[in-house]
Chain A
Amino acid sequence: MAKPVTLKELSKKEILLASGHRLCAGCGAPIVVKMVLLASDYPVIASNATGCLEVSSCISDYTAWKIPWIHNAFENAAATISGVETMYRSLKKQGKIDKEIKFIAFGGDGGTYDIGLQSLSGAMERGHDMLYICYDNGAYMNTGIQRSSATPFGADTTTRPAGSVVPGKTEQRKNLTKIMAAHNIPYAAQASPSHWADLVRKVRKALEIPGPKFMNIISPCNRGWRSRTDDAIMLSRLAVETCYWPLYEIENGVTKITFKPKEKKPIVDFLKPQGRFKHLFKPDSEELLRKIQEDIDREWERLQKEEACFSS
């Protein structure tokens, strides 16, 4: 079990994603990456799916990565890190390397929920000792805010714009964290940069567990969410407090909710500051808002029941 770490201790550690990267001001992704890398007490090698994080952090001849890092393509961050990890095991077995190294893959929701799902599923099933981190900003932000299977119902995107007859996205989000847990991997979790201690604790725990681990971390995108530049932490907190993005972990099949809001906030609190939901607040949209709230409530109920199954 990883030792708990204090904010004071974290503040003394080296930031392994250097400033000077070219991600947008206020982007959630570098906050997530910095927290994940700070959490590790081990040297880390990372792979990165094509996407905002990748194109903005390593533009030749510059790199923001102070750790060994590889970008291969869009859909194969998991397969790529599985190759790195396998070479590590081979060389370790041969006595050519003796250090303890941890392997992390970073991908956005496009590279994880959609185009990279097969690669991720394969790597998880094969049991590589790796942690996959999805920074989920809920659309293809790098190519300009196109709809993904992580885009929430009702959101306005450039490929499913809210128009006079279509109210934005008309489908539910895919529940990727549960899909990953269904691979019977030892650890799957959801985290949020707003709850940094919870996030850091989960990463530290994951890195101590041998085998494949998955973490889904919400990552606000002010360009795509049409929110204020400095709202990333506030919005990720509202995502948690409205139970849009519950914080939980599934360890060896046992579900545990790691943060329960004292008072669950209405989903409109999360939706309202975001321009991508602006059309839902026009007259005659109450039905859509009611549906979104019902979906959130049902999923939250289900998660609590799953947790209760194991605590009785």
Chain B
Amino acid sequence: MAKIVAVTGNEAVANALRQVNPDVCAAYPITPQTDMMQRFSSFVSDGKVKTELILVESEHSSMSACVGASAAGGRVITATSSQGLALMNEILYIASGTRLPIVMPVVNRALSAPLNIHGDHSDAMYARDTGWIQLWSENAQEAYDNTIQAFPIAEHIDIRLPVMICLDGFIISHSIERIEYLDDEQVQNFVGDFKQLYPLLDIQHPVSYGPLILPDYYMEFRRAQAEVNTKVSKVVLDVASDFEKLSGRKYGLFETYRLEDAEIGIVILNSAAGTTKDVIDEFRNKGIKAGLLKPRLYRPFPYEETGEALKHLKALCVLDRADCFGSSFGPVYSDIAASLYPFKDKPVLVNKIYGLGGRDYLPEHAEIVLNELVDIAETGKVKSYKEYIGVRE
């Protein structure tokens, strides 16, 4: 039976990890992830999990140890934020290139400089092309559910890729919300046993991990990796379908909100989607056909499905909680633009950068954006294709 609790996002994810009961966890503190791994460490100290902890001296070693532990043959987790994810960068590619199904919650936080410990998406966005699967979460419930689903996705025999679960620093990691927990047994049955292919610890069948591959075969190897990515969407949907049977909660590649008959729309990730949905309701009450799309599987990005869901709109704004310096637009904008490009009829597309370094995203920001989209839909005229909102001028 589901248990209803009031917990923070970090506590919910730590509990999901306890229920999965992995073999090895490498942990290193960084705000705002810290208390997630503290809570998990308490489960270890109290004998609530079989997990062996590795309390590493850096995130670089954390991911390095995860690679070793996963190749050795077992279920492996870690968690991080911001600078920690940046320090792991080199090894993130090695984890995915070696096809190791490591699961890692990422509590999204701004990147330095200037130093800032608060929530934005700069960290996971920089890591979006590292070959990891990324599942994004609006609230603690989604972070909990995504963490549980991450294991069967990562470990699926057609996939074998590492997964990041992204949740907003402080806004979700440290806020108390009502959430429903599954029973430990339900989670255990859902994730099942994990058997690594070619484990290092099988000394009867010695294998070599991490070869040098020269120009004669490197490209074939990379193409094979790209092909694996094309299979992820189906597995994510299959796992979501199984999860719905268990929990009653439905997940897809993305969530649409009042989008089908909408004329104007917003694409936005994570916690800010909740605020935006409220404002969309207000606009709907005024007779304005507004809708929203919130990506969930952001890597690999489901271009076709996303474009299909958005192409009928007249005007669309992508709100990015990160910017790509030197590029014209934010990261999500570029993906949405690519997803819409194949269609002859498509919405006018604009980009707003919001909420950097923990700057609040308020209902009035959504109102400003939606009012601007109403104007664009009516006149076809665009003031600015990209601008920062909620910022001092």
Contact = CB atoms under 8 A, between A and B. Distances in A.
Interface centre among B58, B72, B94 (most CB of A within 10 A): B72
Interface string B205-221: 01111111110010001
B356 interface: no
Interface stretch (A64-72, A147-155, A196-204): A64-72
A45 B203 contact: yes
Chain B interface mostly helix, strand, loop or mixed?
mixed
A125 B57 contact: yes
Contact of B67 (A66, A80, A97): A80
A54 B213 CA distance: 12
Contacts of A87: 23-24, 52, 68-70, 72-74, 76, 201
Contacts of B24: 83, 86-87, 90
B74 A83 contact: no
Nearest to B205: A68
B64 A76 contact: yes
B227 interface: no
B272 interface: no
B64 A119 contact: yes
Best-surrounded residue of B50, B208, B212 (most CB of chain A within 10 A): B208
A311 B61 CA distance: 39
Given A68-B200, A76-B60, A90 B50 contact: yes
B384 to A, nearest CB: 43
Contacts of A118: 57-58, 60-61
A122 B211 contact: no
Contact of A91 (B67, B201, B210): B201
B211 A83 contact: no
Interface in A5-31: none
Contacts of B76: 83, 87
Given A91-B74, A119-B64, A76 B210 contact: no
Interface residues of B, number: 43
Contact of B65 (A58, A86, A99): A86
Interface string B54-88: 11111011001111111111101000000000000
B208 A84 contact: no
B76 to A, nearest CB: 8
Contacts of B203: 43, 45, 67-68, 99, 101
Contacts of A94: 23, 50
B73 A70 contact: no
B313 interface: no
A125 B54 CA distance: 11
A182 interface: no
A60 B211 contact: yes
A129 interface: no
Interface residues of A, number: 47
Given A91-B73, A122-B56, A79 B211 contact: no
B345 interface: no
Residue of A54, A68, A99, A121 with highest tally of chain B CB at under 10 A = A68
B54 A70 contact: no
A147 to B, nearest CB: 23
B94 A83 contact: no
Given A58-B210, A66-B206, A45 B200 contact: yes
Nearest to B73: A87
Given A58-B212, A60-B217, A72-B91, A126 B202 contact: no
A70 B200 contact: yes
A58 B211 contact: yes
Nearest to A69: B208
A169 to B, nearest CB: 28
A283 to B, nearest CB: 45
A122 B23 contact: no
B51 interface: yes
A83 B66 contact: yes
A67 B203 CA distance: 7
Contacts of A48: 210
A122 B57 contact: yes
B69 A70 contact: no
Nearest to B198: A68
B197 to A, nearest CB: 13
A88 B72 CA distance: 7
B30 to A, nearest CB: 16
A89 B68 contact: no
Nearest to A80: B68
A229 B64 CA distance: 36
A82 interface: yes
B60 A86 contact: no
20 contacts: A45-B203, A58-B208, A59-B214, A60-B214, A70-B71, A73-B64, A73-B94, A79-B65, A83-B24, A83-B65, A83-B67, A83-B71, A86-B52, A87-B23, A87-B201, A90-B24, A91-B23, A93-B50, A119-B58, A119-B60
Given A68-B206, A87-B72, A119-B57, 5 more contacts: A54-B210, A58-B212, A69-B208, A84-B200, A118-B61
Interface of A: 43, 45, 47-48, 54-55, 58-61, 63, 65-73, 75-76, 79-91, 93-94, 97, 99, 101, 118-119, 121-123, 125-126
